[in-house]
Chains A and B, each alone.
Chain A
């Protein structure tokens, strides 16, 4: 579909590790099955399908049924990973996600592929930038947006072992490894990418490395920016947010709408508990035609754009 962007050295398409991890898990646990909507290729599940032909359930182009079928499979004792483009598994099947998965509390792993604006030129129907806002009120649905290959593998393993509904928001945008020493995957906890005390940059998914780049630029100007990888959006890491508020200024960064997602959650929490300037970097609404790279630059999802947002937040700092 959209361009396979040339992969820069050290950058990886995390779909590869998503599927190799799932295959390892499936080898060990026969209850793990994959459910797709004509999305075998776009979910990179071709090798899974070859290895476990009976455990790849392609329902055709029918997302509402797909999510409902996931709930039914969980009822029957399977551990379904339901995998489809983020825009369709959330938007098209939203009521199934709400009623059949979250409200009913089934042990289903929803996997939103090519989330954010990965489909670039295919336009707003194919962008999945509203998913955070749609899903965040489903309080018992764990929402995880891994930032790199290591975290993708950890999140898939954790989701398989965890009893309960999960939304994994994956991407095919190549990202570099975050290179954090002695990492431990702690769902529900923000991960410290870089310490700092003047401002906190809170990012998730494909934008964490960009926020780290922004912190480098800010350091050149004598500004010490903390960078958090906020990979779990539900439940919210309140402790990390109190600490972020204590730096006196916050920037949120997400490959999503600035309404109701990570920025919305942080603004909501800080306004209620510890008011502090919050600048939200993300997308304002339906986007014009354009490639992923163009959209990222145009809307300030870049080290420069994030650093500029940090300066705006610092300007507003009491």
Chain B
């Protein structure tokens, strides 16, 4: 199958993920929908176009790994895992409920398909680096993908991991940065600026590519490409709240939740 043949499926899954994630957030009146929507096309591309995995064998040693470092975006992660077949759809309705396995942040002891617990920002990339080193030591063929927020890049732990990954030329590791230019309270550049992010990762020994993070074809081209000789950094330019007019680029939708009218409006737009 040609890579681009996967695009309709990726789009279909991404649409279902957006609608379903927003329904979860609406029902729970909790969540982080802005960051869910900026990340969903990336997750849909990974799970339905790039990664090798078997939901029946979540501990298959040769599976490609995905680490959701921006752990607050569980609307995106849980809908991706559900769509990928890791657990039944009716579990999604328990999001945030007492004793639910769908906690506000992902817990690997609760659900299959979660590689590590995240929530505090700046944890996923170091763990993913460890997974990639383990793959190198074992001579295994799997690849490791990690998604961080852009505000999350302000955490120093990322840069410690970047130094290790660059130093060890972890070509089996791909860092994806959800570059929506917003963090919790404001823009990244007005808070503690990240630009030039490409030059920074280049200097740390990464192959850096910038893509439109909502274009499955562009994402497939870079994420699906065979590993080179260095770790890869994909700066995915995205829009926080992507897909819903009143949420796009509005900081307060970081953890804003919809009322009934807003939910209905969003369902009309997400088609």
Q: How far is the CA of A126 from the CA of B100 in the complex (A)?
A: 16
B184 touches A38 (CB 8 A): yes
Bound CA–CA A88/B97 (angstroms): 24
* A60: chain B residues within 8 A (beta carbon): 151, 154, 183, 188, 191-192
Query: Is the C-beta of A92 less than 8 angstroms from some C-beta in chain B?
Result: yes
Q: Please measure, in the bound complex, the distance between the C-alpha atom of A42 and the C-alpha atom of B30, giving whole angstroms.
A: 15
The answer on a CB contact under 8 Å between A121 and B96 is yes
- Decide if B119 touches A126 in the complex (CB within 8 Å): yes
Give the docked Cα–Cα distance between A143 and B154 (Å).
Answer: 29
Contacts of A179 in B (CB 8 A): none
Residue of A nearest to B122 (CB): A61
Chain B residue at minimum C-beta to C-beta distance from A43: B185
Q: B8 near A: Cβ within 8 Å?
A: no
Q: Are B104 and A294 in contact (CB under 8 A)?
A: no
Given the contacts A92-B120, A126-B104, A126-B119, A40 and B185 also touching, CB distance less than 8 Å: yes
**Contacting pair B103 A61 (CB below 8 A):** no
Contact B183 A38 (CB under 8 A): yes
A99 is an interface residue with CB less than 8 A from chain B: no
Shortest distance in angstroms between A82's beta carbon and chain B's nearest beta carbon? 16
Asked if A308 is an interface residue, CB under 8 A from chain B, the answer is no
> Within 8 Å of chain B (Cβ to Cβ): is A39?
yes
Decide: A121 and B191 in contact? CB cutoff 8 A: no
Point out the residues of chain B lying under 8 angstroms from A38, CB to CB: 151, 154, 183-186, 191
Query: Please, which residues of chain A bring their CB within 8 A of the CB of B28?
Result: 121
Contacts of B27 in A (CB 8 A): none
Residues of A within 8 A of B103 (CB): 121-123, 289
Residues of B within 8 A of A126 (CB): 104-105, 119-120
Per the bound structure, the CA–CA distance linking A199 and B29 in Å amounts to: 42
Interface string of A113-132 (1 = CB under 8 A from B): 00000011111111000000
Contact A64 B185, beta carbon cutoff 8 Å: no
Q: How many A-B residue pairs have CB under 8 A?
A: 95
Q: B184 contacts which chain A residues (CB < 8 A)? A: 38-39, 41-42, 61
B152 contacts across to A, CB distance below 8 A? 61
> How would residues 55 to 77 of chain A score, 1 for a CB under 8 Å from any chain B CB and 0 otherwise?
00011111011000000000000
Interface hits, B67-120 → A, CB 8 Å: 71-72, 96-105, 107, 117-120
* Interchain nearest-CB distance for A135 vs B (Å): 18
Interface size grouping (class) on chain A? 20 to 34
Contact A3 B30 (CB under 8 A): yes
Is the CB of B121 closer than 8 A to any CB of chain A? yes
Q: A121-B30, A126-B105 are in contact. Are A289 and B100 (CB under 8 A)?
A: yes
Would B98 and A61 count as touching, CB distance under 8 A? no
Contacts of A125 in B (CB 8 A): 71, 105, 117-120
B residues in contact with A92, CB < 8 Å:
120
Partner of A123, one of B97, B105, B122: B105
Q: Is A188 an interface residue (CB 8 A)?
A: no
Q: Does B6 contact A (CB under 8 A)?
A: no
Task: Find chain A residues with CB under 8 A from B155 CB.
Answer: 61-62
Query: How far apart sit A161 and B188, CA to CA, in the bound complex (Å)?
Result: 35
Query: Cβ of A298: which chain B residues have Cβ within 8 Å of it?
Result: 98
* In the assembled complex, B63 has its CB within 8 A of some CB on chain A: no
User: Does residue A275 face the partner (Cβ distance < 8 Å to B)?
Assistant: no
Using A38-B183, A61-B154, A289-B99 as known contacts, list a sample of 15 further A-B pairs with CB atoms less than 8 Å apart, ordered by residue number in A.
A38-B186, A39-B184, A40-B186, A58-B185, A59-B154, A61-B183, A119-B104, A120-B104, A121-B30, A121-B104, A124-B107, A125-B105, A126-B119, A126-B120, A289-B101
Chain A to chain B: the 9 pairs with minimum beta-carbon distance, closest first:
A60-B192, A125-B119, A60-B154, A122-B104, A121-B96, A290-B98, A289-B103, A123-B103, A61-B154
Q: Which residues of A contact B (CB under 8 A)?
A: 1-3, 38-42, 58-62, 64-65, 87-88, 91-92, 119-126, 288-291, 294, 298
19 contacts between A and B (CB under 8 A): A2-B104, A41-B184, A58-B186, A60-B151, A62-B154, A62-B156, A62-B192, A87-B120, A91-B120, A121-B30, A121-B96, A123-B105, A123-B119, A125-B117, A126-B104, A288-B99, A289-B97, A289-B103, A298-B98
